[in-house]
């Protein structure tokens, strides 16, 4: 078999080499320290959007390890629906998802069962946006007719699909992107859930599956296994691979028309990233930034991400949830430094804005205080509290405080509540020189009352320095400090 091994010297050399190679392997195994030997893993299961766009690998994992040296992040990518199922089984400490119509049931499972969320609600962490992708020759004519009207675009694709000129590539199941698609298809239904488009039949999904409607061969409630029309494909893939499936577009209906005709919805972070690595070549954005006057309004394509710590009391015994680690991770996510890093990630790729924008804490705008001023003279600060996440309800009836920071300590000098539009007025009589700040604590904000139960989230504390005030005593010379 090995003729050259017949000479004793060659055989000896070969045996020696083999033994050295195996000894090397053993040495590598025995000697190599585990990379995370001294740190504790925080297991976060969540949407593949944030890992397929490389946000976890390039920002969150290294950032968390640096900010909390006792921990390292284990991110387990799944679709949103699957991630919630894993979290509810106690398999992870925390959760990052983006489907409010599934998250509300995670927070309130009903039937008197405890919330799976350790905190009263999930934390707002960042938002992105969904974009509709299509081939460059655009057989459904979406780019020309509906660049900012995704509902109309879906209608065009369904009509072209029925005519054998287009395919729609969905991930299928209950990832956040598919849940979003179901909300868009729903806007093509009229009274009683009937489709308003000729040749398009829609079935209704249960609330447990995130609600909404899906193309189907039969109307009514969707069965467990939906029968899709020939132009609609459920791939079962993660976000990135699904985009690649649409780019390759190897579907029977597509080959029948003899050209690339696949359309799909994805998050812009994944698309920007795939385009930056040249992993997609044929797809382009055909619809984005839904117009305010289009069905669904300007927020229809907004993709809100939330993070949860899993409630140890709600999951099965033996789950061993590391609640401290999960809370530390959430605190890291919502910290100003992380929020800035997330908002900077991939900014400028393809000449586009950043795909993710941190929205953990509300934005405070306020008028500047008058300075210098005589001690005890009343003055008023006017300002507004705004949720960074677009087109969310105004931050009404939320408490705000005015504090003065001096020599490392802070003291509250005035409190107020925001009005129905988030405006506030803080009146105070300054007695101390120092830096004045408007601050908010952790806020609970109801974001979506259309869902049952209503969807709410937590906003991180925020602070805005409005200026240094120099207080002078009445009748004395003006202080220099």
Question: Where do contacts with another protein occur on this chain (CB under 8 A)?
Answer: 1-2, 5, 11, 14-15, 17-19, 21-22, 25-26, 28-29, 32, 35-36, 41, 43, 45, 48, 51-52, 54, 57, 61, 72, 74-77, 89-92, 238, 240-241, 243-244, 273-274, 277-280, 315-320
- Mutual orientation of helices 176-186 and 100-107 as an angle, nearest 10°? 120
Nearer to another protein, 272 or 447 (CB): 272
CB of 83 to another protein, least distance (A): 11
CB of 265 to another protein, least distance (A): 17
Gap between the Cα atoms of 71 and 65, Å rounded: 6
Nearer to another protein, 43 or 183 (CB): 43
Structure tokens at 18: 């083999």
CB of 276 to another protein, least distance (A): 9
Nearer to another protein, 57 or 217 (CB): 57
Gap between the Cα atoms of 152 and 131, Å rounded: 14
Give the up-direction half-sphere exposure of residue 273: CA atoms within 13 A in the CB hemisphere: 23
> Any residues with CB less than 8 A from the CB of 8 and at least 6 apart, and which?
none
Neighbours of 61 (CB within 10 A): 17
Name beta bridge partners: 307: 96, 123
Q: Which among 263, 243, 244, 266 has a CA at the least distance from the CA of 253?
A: 263
Q: Which among 102, 154, 32 has a CA at the least distance from the CA of 308?
A: 102
CB of 150 to another protein, least distance (A): 24
Structure tokens at 174: 């209950």
Nearer to another protein, 30 or 477 (CB): 30
Neighbours of 153 (CB within 10 A): 26
The DSSP bridge pattern shows strands 213-215 and 202-204 to be: antiparallel
Nearer to another protein, 89 or 380 (CB): 89
Which residue bears the tokens 């710590």?
Answer: 309
Nearer to another protein, 121 or 273 (CB): 273
Structure tokens at 449: 């009352």
Gap between the Cα atoms of 288 and 134, Å rounded: 12
CB of 238 to another protein, least distance (A): 6
CB of 382 to another protein, least distance (A): 47
The sign of the CA dihedral 198, 199, 205, 209 is negative
Nearer to another protein, 244 or 289 (CB): 244
Number of helices and strands (H, E) in the chain? 14, 24
Gap between the Cα atoms of 324 and 91, Å rounded: 16
Nearer to another protein, 94 or 362 (CB): 94
CB of 19 to another protein, least distance (A): 7
Nearer to another protein, 14 or 208 (CB): 14
CB of 274 to another protein, least distance (A): 4
Q: Which among 337, 442, 461 has a CA at the least distance from the CA of 121?
A: 442
CB of 319 to another protein, least distance (A): 4
């Amino acid at each position: 078999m090995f003729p050259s091994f017949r000479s004793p010297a060659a055989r000896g050399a070969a045996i020696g080499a083999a033994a050295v190679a195996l000894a090397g392997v053993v040495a590598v195994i025995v000697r190599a320290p585990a990379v995370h030997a001294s740190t504790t893993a925080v297991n976060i299961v969540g949407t593949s959007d944030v890992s397929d766009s490389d946000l976890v690998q390039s920002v969150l994992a290294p950032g968390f390890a640096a900010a909390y040296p006792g921990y390292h992040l284990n991110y387990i990518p799944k679709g949103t629906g699957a991630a919630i199922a894993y979290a509810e089984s106690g398999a992870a400490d925390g959760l990052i998802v983006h489907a409010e119509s599934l998250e509300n049931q995670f927070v309130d499972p009903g039937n008197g069962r405890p919330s799976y969320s350790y905190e009263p609600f999930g934390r707002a962490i960042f938002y992105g946006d969904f974009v509709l992708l299509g081939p460059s020759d655009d057989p459904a004519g979406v780019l020309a007719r509906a660049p900012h009207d995704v509902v109309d675009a879906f209608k065009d694709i369904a009509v072209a699909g029925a005519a054998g000129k287009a395919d729609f590539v969905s991930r299928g199941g209950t990832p956040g992107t598919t849940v979003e698609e179901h909300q868009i298809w729903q806007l093509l239904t009229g009274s009683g859930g009937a489709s308003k488009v000729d040749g398009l039949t829609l079935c209704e999904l249960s609330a447990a599956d995130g609600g909404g409607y899906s193309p189907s061969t039969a109307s009514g409630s969707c069965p467990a296994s939906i029968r899709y029309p020939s132009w609609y494909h459920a791939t079962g893939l993660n976000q990135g691979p699904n985009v690649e499936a649409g780019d390759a577009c190897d579907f029977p209906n597509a080959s029948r028309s003899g050209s690339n005709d696949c359309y799909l919805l994805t998050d812009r972070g994944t698309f920007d990233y795939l385009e930056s690595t040249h992993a997609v070549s044929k797809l382009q954005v055909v619809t984005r930034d839904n117009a305010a006057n289009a069905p669904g309004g300007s927020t229809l394509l907004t993709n809100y991400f939330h993070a949860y710590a899993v409630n140890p009391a709600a999951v099965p015994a033996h789950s061993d949830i590391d609640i401290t680690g999960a809370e530390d991770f959430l605190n890291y996510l919502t910290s100003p430094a992380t929020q800035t890093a997330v908002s900077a990630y991939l900014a400028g790729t393809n000449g586009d804005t950043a795909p993710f924008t941190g929205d953990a804490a509300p934005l405070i705008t306020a008028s500047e205080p008058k300075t210098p001023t005589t001690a005890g003279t009343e003055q008023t600060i006017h300002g507004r509290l705004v949720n960074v996440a677009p087109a969310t309800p105004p931050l009404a009836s939320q408490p705000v405080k005015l504090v003065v920071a001096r020599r490392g300590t802070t003291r509250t000098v005035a409190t107020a509540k925001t009005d129905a539009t988030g405006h506030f007025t803080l009146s105070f009589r300054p007695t101390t020189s120092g830096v004045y700040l408007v601050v908010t604590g952790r806020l609970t904000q109801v974001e979506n009352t259309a869902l049952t139960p209503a969807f709410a989230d937590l906003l991180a504390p925020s602070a805005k320095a409005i200026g240094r005030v120099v207080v002078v005593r009445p009748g004395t010379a003006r202080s220099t400090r």
